[in-house]
Structure 1
Amino acid sequence: MITTLGLGIALTKTQDAPDPYLLDIGRKGTVTARMGFTDTRSAKLTTPDEIAAAADSVQFILVGESHATPSHHQAQADIIRALVKRGRLVTVGMEMVTRDRQMQVNGLSSGMETIEEFEVSSDWKNTWGHNFNAYRPVFEAIRDHKLRLTALNVPREMVRKASRESYDAFTEFEKKWVPYMDLTNTNHEKVVSALIGGHPLNGSGFNMLAGQVTWDIGMAKTALDWRRDWPYKKNIMVILAGSGHVMYDQGINYRLKQMDGTNSISVVCVSDEPNRKVSRGLADYVFVGELPPQTGTRTQ
């Protein structure tokens, strides 16, 4: 059983569902992802420092996770710290916090709040719900270096409107955060379908693809608004989101490119065994870390 993309729907994988890590999208061929970071172009192991160097020419690096997987969040923190060491002005953009709560999360960046106080002020339990302590390495990196934290996501009510009604149900204010709706990317549709086990993306008054696209466009728009407000060459935003928003450059990265022609670098953290074959198109880099104890449902 899988829980689909944070929408709270439990589905059983169909027998002929494609492997979401082996889709034929983007760069051709496969690569063996070993423990640690693998460069999908060279098939060689690499390091956070080398990834930070590769990001010299971009202002966005997306690191996709399986939510609340400690090794994934440690990998994210390692990349953040490597970018700081390289002299970049790092902002951390988090899917886990909605942009209407930006004021509530500023205390961690300024050092005015402890990590424990941030858990309360961000209303983490109600707004995100996944194990807070799993993300601690990321929060420690933010607080240690007083990095800007951007609440990247849109409120869930907007996702519900898009998936159960239509984009026309958005208010004029909401359309500033999600300025358009585009469901024409067939590669993105393939990714989402694979992640939900091959099930249809709509039916019974529910359009899952529209909900996913709302998230992607909304987070990309928040990221671009950040760059507009902080137009410095050394700036870089590390976007932390579920892997479904990053895989094959068809999620947030696709919308950054669509809206602004912006290039980015992608890292996908894989919840699987080491020495696992993945598509070269999955991401620029793939991270494999230790799996958490099995507690039931797997999320993307």
Structure 2
Amino acid sequence: MVDTPRFEGATAYAYFDGATGASLTFDDVAARARAADVVVLGEQHDQAVHHELQRRVVAALAAPNVRLTVGFEMLSWGYQGALDRLASGQLDPDAFAAEIDWKKAWGFPFELYRPIFQAAVAAQARLAALNAPRELVRAVRQKGLASLSAEELRQLPDLDLGDELHRAWFAGVFASGGHPATAGEVEAFYVAQVVWDESMADGAARALADGAEQVIVIAGAGHVARGRGIPQRVERRRPGTRVVSVVPLTGVDGDNAIDRLRQAVVNGEADILVVPRFEREIDL
């Protein structure tokens, strides 16, 4: 049984325990996030209301005596220098976006992400580029692991390709997209997905090893995937790490909210589920 959504705030959200469906307040969400070592904040990339939720959580976790790192799926390792200059105040967010050519680096409008960067800089957080280079992921997808060069293989994090539940979930998501594909093509895309997941998990684990007391990961909801994407892969690297996942649900309206929540709880989609009252697509 899940609770009926009760929305909080001007841009309103309703919060739920991902295991029970019980209603939570934002203060509950913030308290659970503060108790975690790693907080993974999922998103659908074109949803402004998802990014506002991420900004709120980053701001809520800011504390003067906590060494915080905020890591981004959107940026691959080569952008770390620019992120360091943003964090130190040498660049403001717009100058940062111009320097790295944000549209080329990620593609979705920078306006969606600017408030998150502003909140992270205000929190005096270290900023981390978490993703593998696109050309490396593309090589994995197109050539397969066995055909990579020695240099390409050196760039890869440790990969766990043996999670059959995660593989089955991915195959189902891929099939639901309506794109005909052979089993080999699905496998190639799956391995590329794991490279992304493992790269982000490795970055989060390294941040903890380097002295961060808490790491926030900003990533697409598919990389949070029932705890079997980034969260499980962080825990494999650092057993005992407390990971909390927060995922806003999409495609929810007044008519299907309870059914969609019930499905998300049964599926174990995240530790904390969020229903935004308003979802707005950005016209790209």
What is the TM-score of this pair, normalised by structure 1?
0.79
Question: Which structure features the higher share of strand residues?
Answer: 1
Closer, same or farther in 2 for the Cα pair 1:294/1:136, shift >3 Å? Answer: closer
Q: Give the deviation of 1:177 after TM superposition.
A: 4.4
Conserved 8 A contact 1:91-1:149: yes
Question: How many residue pairs were aligned?
Answer: 264
Conserved 8 A contact 2:34-2:61: no
In 2, the alpha carbon distance for the partners of 1:124 and 1:152 equals 15
In 2, the alpha carbon distance for the partners of 1:240 and 1:57 equals 18
Unaligned ranges ≥5, structure 2 = 6-12
Conserved 8 A contact 1:108-1:142: no
Question: Which structure features the higher share of helix residues?
Answer: 2
Match of 2:204 among 223, 229, 251: 223
Give per-residue Cα distances to partners, 1:248-299, cap 9 Å, x unaligned.
0011112112222233111112222242333221101111222114759xxx
Match of 1:263 among 242, 252, 266: 242
Conserved 8 A contact 1:94-1:153: yes
Return the letter of the residue paired with 1:279: A
What SS does the aligned partner of 1:91 have?
strand
Match of 1:60 among 29, 38, 55: 38
What SS does the aligned partner of 1:207 have?
helix
Q: Give the deviation of 1:144 after TM superposition.
A: 2.2
**RMSD over aligned Cα atoms:** 2.5
What SS does the aligned partner of 1:203 have?
helix
In 2, the alpha carbon distance for the partners of 1:66 and 1:85 equals 27
User: For residue 189 of structure 2, what is the aligned residue in structure 1?
Assistant: 208
In 2, the alpha carbon distance for the partners of 1:293 and 1:43 equals 26
User: For residue 8 of structure 1, what is the aligned residue in structure 2?
Assistant: none
In 2, the alpha carbon distance for the partners of 1:75 and 1:103 equals 27
Return the letter of the residue paired with 2:105: T
User: For residue 130 of structure 1, what is the aligned residue in structure 2?
Assistant: 108
Closer, same or farther in 2 for the Cα pair 1:85/1:201, shift >3 Å? Answer: farther
Q: Give the deviation of 1:195 after TM superposition.
A: 2.5
Closer, same or farther in 2 for the Cα pair 1:56/1:140, shift >3 Å? Answer: closer
Give per-residue Cα distances to partners, 1:9-51, cap 9 Å, x unaligned.
xxxxxxxxxxxxxxxxxxxxx7468342222234233244322
What is the TM-score of this pair, normalised by structure 2?
0.83
2:270 counterpart of 1:283 = yes
What SS does the aligned partner of 2:207 have?
helix
Conserved 8 A contact 2:3-2:22: no
User: For residue 292 of structure 1, what is the aligned residue in structure 2?
Assistant: 280
Which consecutive segments of 4 or more residues in structure 1 shift more than 3 A?
30-35, 85-88, 168-177, 197-206, 293-296
What SS does the aligned partner of 1:112 have?
coil
Closer, same or farther in 2 for the Cα pair 1:203/1:50, shift >3 Å? Answer: same
What SS does the aligned partner of 1:113 have?
coil
Unaligned ranges ≥5, structure 1 = 1-29
2:134 counterpart of 1:156 = yes
What SS does the aligned partner of 2:62 have?
helix
User: For residue 167 of structure 2, what is the aligned residue in structure 1?
Assistant: 189
Match of 1:142 among 76, 95, 120: 120
Task: Give % identity.
Answer: 29
- Relative to structure 2, which stretch is displaced further, 69-78 or 263-272? 263-272
